Amino acid sequence: MSTNEIISYEPSTGEELWRSKVGNVDAAVDRARRAWPAWAAKPLATRIELCRRFANEVRKEATKLAELIAKETGKPMWEAHTEVEAVINKVDISVTAYAERTGQKKLDGALGGTAAVRHKPHGVMVVLGPYNFPAHLPNGHIVPALIAGNVVIFKPSEKTPAVGELLMQCFNKAGISAAVAQFFPGGPDEGKALVAHSGVDGVLFTGSAQAGIAINKRLATNPGKIVALEMGGNNPIVVADTPLVTDAAILIVKSAFTTAGQRCTAARRLIVLDSMYDAVIAEVKRLADRLIVGEPFADPAPFMGPVIDNGAADQLVESFLYFLSNGGKAIKHMQRANDDLPFLSPAIIDTTGIPDRPDVELFGPLLQVIKVGSLDEAIAEANNTRFGLSASLIGGTPQDYSRFWASVRAGIVNWNQPTNGASSKAPFGGLGLSGNHRPAAFYAADYCAYPVASSEIDQPRASVGVGFKEG
């Protein structure tokens, strides 16, 4: 592939879907900087109305966008439709969040004046998107940024640029110019150049910990540039005592294998009390054996499609074999029916006997199982990671959940719910290698505008006090 071109392929067929020349970084930033003052000067009500029109444009293109998401990511159509709905719903959620998180406040001040808190936009924001939710996740940065008065340069993942282009066309058709909401095709080099560009005021990133750490390092000497890092997780799902084994197994399978395991909140590690081990593992395997893996438009609809590309599939197969050769016990083998396409069966492996389990995010349908003797041991194992995005407790008592919630290190902590499927009406983020304490979703408003404190009075009034000679 030419370094001057971005080419997108359909994971389920291997066929070329889209191609484009890469963008010019300096030209894109210059265009955005020139557009920003006029956009920031528009009344908030105007910016909100234009974003609502964007939601209507997405509604018009809902089927086209869902089909494109399915083709470019490989995810089933039912899931692609769910992503499109999330894009539409993000606008109303972001309007509410802006008012609650960054609205204006007036307080009584001295001498009859007022104290005020208002918020200003940062300026030119670069949004770097992931491939697993190529519309919903970047949109979760873009809409709050635009409402706050920023302009946006969106560089989608080089693996899903076609969805990114269509998403930005919806903004442009709604009346938000292509300079204010700008689509930028590019690869890792262009992403690095945008991050480092002096004309960029903020970087909003969703992707791997490795890439996020590189961004953090690159900007370590520039504290003035706002950086929000939404990264991955080595997420635990803990099973305590419960009589509802089938329900527990369904929650585990949904957590581990939805989106072919390509969610940052997917369960990577199943930590099971030994009292529940045999029953839970048997039921999880039974359900996993029933999962339909297939192309996005298949009938009956598949539960999951392929992973994003052959490189990802190769790495996951290698990881499964690594566990197997280092003391892991296969519960359900990872199978690849066609070496030329990245379809993988869901895999489950007991890694209890591996003394030094790698603390990495294996981004696919590979679930590691760890047997423990007590809830305290389970919590310790759950925290045995540098990540800290999502964690779930299945079963147990209210007291057990209180202990779990208080002790587990994660930005999302659930009880009898999957590790994934977080609400956009709540903050979304983690700690450690999962993020830099700038949660997205409802709290995205926080990093899209900065607070300005003011003390105000309509006429200058002052008097001298201690420390002055008599005049």
230 among known catalytic residues: yes
3-state secondary structure 26-82: HHHHHHHHHHHHHHHHCCHHHHHHHHHHHHHHHHHCHHHHHHHHHHHHCCCHHHHHH
Q: Quote the pLDDT of residue 1.
A: 39
Q: Quote the pLDDT of residue 410.
A: 98
Closest CA to 91 of 134, 139, 129: 139
Stronger pLDDT, 402 or 114, i.e. the higher one: 402
Closest CA to 308 of 69, 140, 79, 471: 69
User: pLDDT tier at 31 (50, 70, 90 boundaries)?
Assistant: very high
Catalytic residue among 79, 230, 283, 381: 230
Is 392:247 a contact under the CB 8 Å cutoff? no
Is 277:292 a contact under the CB 8 Å cutoff? no
User: pLDDT tier at 2 (50, 70, 90 boundaries)?
Assistant: very low
Q: Who contacts 211 (Cβ-Cβ below 8 Å, separation ≥6)?
A: 205
Q: Quote the pLDDT of residue 107.
A: 81
What's 115's DSSP letter?
Answer: E
15 among known catalytic residues: no
366-394 pLDDT per residue, tens: 999 999 999 999 999 999 999 999 999 99
Catalytic residue among 51, 170, 264, 448: 264
Is 139:90 a contact under the CB 8 Å cutoff? yes
Is 60:228 a contact under the CB 8 Å cutoff? no
The strand order across the sheet containing 202-206 reads 181-183, 151-155, 124-128, 202-206, 226-230
* Mean pLDDT within 282-309: 98
Closest CA to 419 of 285, 237, 167, 222: 237
Distance of alpha carbon 102 from alpha carbon 446, whole angstroms: 7
Q: Model-level pTM? A: 0.97
Q: Quote the pLDDT of residue 111.
A: 65
How would you classify the pairing of strands 16-21 and 5-9?
A: antiparallel
Distance of alpha carbon 263 from alpha carbon 254, whole angstroms: 11
pLDDT above 70 (res 110): no
Distances (CA, A) of 375 to 279, 348, 370, 378: 17, 22, 13, 5
pLDDT above 90 (res 422): yes
Domains of the chain (ranges, CATH numbers): 5-231+435-456 (3.40.605.10), 235-415 (3.40.309.10)
438-471 pLDDT per residue, tens: 999 999 999 999 999 998 888 888 888 899 998 7
User: pLDDT tier at 268 (50, 70, 90 boundaries)?
Assistant: very high
Q: What is the DSSP string of 338-367?
A: -TTS-----EEEE-TT-SS-------SSEE
Q: Which two tokens stand for residue 293?
A: 């893996």
Is 250:390 a contact under the CB 8 Å cutoff? no
